[in-house]
Amino acid sequence: MFQLVLLSQKQQVDVANLSLNAELMGLPKEIPIQVEQTCLVGGKQAGSRVIRLTVGDTVVRVVPTRGMAILEATRHGVRFGWDSPVKEVVHPSFINQEASGGLGWLDGFNEMLVRCGYQWAGHPGQDGDEFLTLHGRIQNTPADEVVLEVEQVPPYRVTLRGRVDEKRFKFTNFELHTELSLTPDQAYLDVKDRLVNKGSYPREYQAIYHNNFAQPILEKGARLHVPVAELSPFNDYAANGLKDWSEMPAPTTDFDEMVFNIRPLSDSDGLSYALMQNAQANQGIEVCYSTDTLPLLTVWKNTDSLEQGYVVGIEPGTSFAYNRAYQRPLGLVPTIEAGESKQFVVRFGLFTSEKEVTESRLRIEQLQAQTSPQVLSKPVVVLD
């Protein structure tokens, strides 16, 4: 096993700019693996870092300075991600999450995978005596203990690990241990996170994996496939879109956003799936997740203009996207005991062929065949 510590406060290691080919990692030179790290300069991305993993025909860009987010991925030249009006990889030091009534989080929002949590997630607002900003703090927290591992025998799995701390005196003592991995011959990108409560008392937690995708998958005629037990609109505006919630339009000026709450069906292994395919059904993104710890799914349909950010979010979570105060009565704010850990598993299928898309869609259709979805015409939460 080749192992390299890229960043460690404990070991006083900071590799900074880096470029490694297969031979430098002890692999046969023909193995298509390359790793690069770039320290960004200029504007609000000054101080940010991007790690680029080239593994076979897949390229993944990870941002350790933003909670180990995935900026984007490409496979066979097909991009998985989106085009936010935010073009820089904004360093957390330039983010004021309390700005604009708790919406300052949006000043850096442009990644494919954004972690929301873990003390809270969801919309900003008051929860008792505490004001909660949008989607929690973890995304704007730099990682520590960033380590690269590469297997030196087939299948030559490449793994990137990091630790992101969410700690506040008298409140939270969380550690998030992240793991991202992929192999040269697979279409899958695996994310396994472990949340640990290092404190002495039980604490509430929430997690939403805010996964965001646009062109070329998202286009007029694209479609979302989800095995649904229960579907409801997030608010009254979304209720107007229930009829065609899974159908994707072209960029639409003044569309705003529609959000849908889903209680998904899962298979015998406790896994559920969501597939967004393009209009020709020869490219798609599959989000597979373990419903043991991520039992719910939010679909964020933001098919506004290209300039505003044409994007759809496929978001497994412990909770929906309401403010935490609204979700506690629904039983959607779980507790992690002192010393306990919770594991979150999300796998991305980066599909670039009709065969891959068809296999995924059939798997979802077989799950849905078990039961008819229950569609609620009104939101499960009445917003003030």
**Percent of the chain's residues with pLDDT above 90:** 99
Average pLDDT rounded to a whole number, residues 20-28: 96
| The total number of structural domains that make up the chain | 1
Q: Are 158 and 150 in contact (CB under 8 A)?
A: yes
Is the residue at 292 inside a domain? yes
Q: At 182, which amino acid appears? A: L
Mean pLDDT of the 131-157 span: 98
CA distance 338 to 173: 10
User: Which pair of structure tokens corresponds to residue 207?
Assistant: 């997690």
What average pLDDT score do residues 159-167 get?
98
DSSP string, 45-76: GTT-EEEEEEETTEEEEEEGGGTTEEEEEEET
Percent over 70 (pLDDT), the chain? 100
Comparing CA positions, the residue from 299, 330, 329 lying closest to residue 314 is: 299
55 falls in which pLDDT band (50, 70, 90)?
very high
pLDDT at 185: 94
- Separation of alpha carbons 292 and 271, rounded Å: 8
Q: What is the mean pLDDT of residues 270-281?
A: 98
Average pLDDT over residues 235-251: 97
Residue range of the domain that includes 23: 2-375
195-204 pLDDT per residue, tens: 999 999 999 9
Q: Where are the alpha helices (DSSP H) in 131-254?
A: 236-239
Distance CA 16, CA 383 (A): 46
| Integer CA distances (angstroms), 234 to 109, 163, 259, 292, 300, in order | 21, 33, 5, 23, 10
Contact 321, 168 (CB under 8 A): no
pTM for the whole structure: 0.98
Dihedral of CA atoms 95, 98, 99, 103 in degrees, nearest 10, equals: 90
Scan for tokens 């692999």, then name that residue.
Answer: 27
**Band of residue 70 on the pLDDT scale cut at 50, 70, 90:** very high
**Helix, coil or strand: residue 40:** coil
Q: Any idea what DSSP says for residue 247?
A: B
In a domain, 381, yes or no: no
Q: Average pLDDT for residues 145-163, to the nearest whole number?
A: 97
3-state DSSP assignment of residue 244: helix
Give the β-pairing of 206-213 and 113-118. antiparallel
pLDDT of residue 256: 84
Helix, strand, coil: what percent of the chain each, to 5? 15, 45, 45
**pLDDT value of residue 383:** 86
121 φ, ψ (degrees, to nearest 5): -145, 165
Note whether residue 265 is domain-resident. yes
Q: State both tokens at 151.
A: 């297997």
Q: Specify if 224 maps to a domain.
A: yes
191 and 348 Cβ atoms separated by less than 8 Å: yes
Q: Which whole number is the average pLDDT over 177-181?
A: 98
* Cβ(348)–Cβ(181) below 8 Å: no
Comparing 290-304, 310-324, 370-384, the range with the smallest average pLDDT is 370-384
What is the distance in angstroms between the CA of the first residue and the CA of the last residue of the chain? Answer: 55
What's the whole-number mean pLDDT along residues 72-100?
98
**pLDDT digits over 207-230, tens only?**
999 999 999 999 999 999 999 999
pLDDT tens digit sequence for 350-380: 999 999 999 999 999 999 999 999 999 999 9
| Residue listed under structure tokens 């969501």 | 274
Give the mean model confidence (pLDDT) for residues 98-126: 98
Q: Is pLDDT of 348 > 80?
A: yes
CATH of the domain at 190: 2.70.98.10
Look at residue 75 in the predicted model and tell me its pLDDT.
Answer: 98
384, pLDDT greater than 80: no
What is the mean pLDDT of the segment spanning 82-99?
98
- Confidence bin at 145 (pLDDT 50/70/90): very high
189 lies in some domain: yes
* Residues 44, 35: Cα–Cα separation, whole Å: 25
Residue 356, pLDDT score: 98
Q: Give the span between the Cα atoms of 91 and 230, in whole angstroms.
A: 38
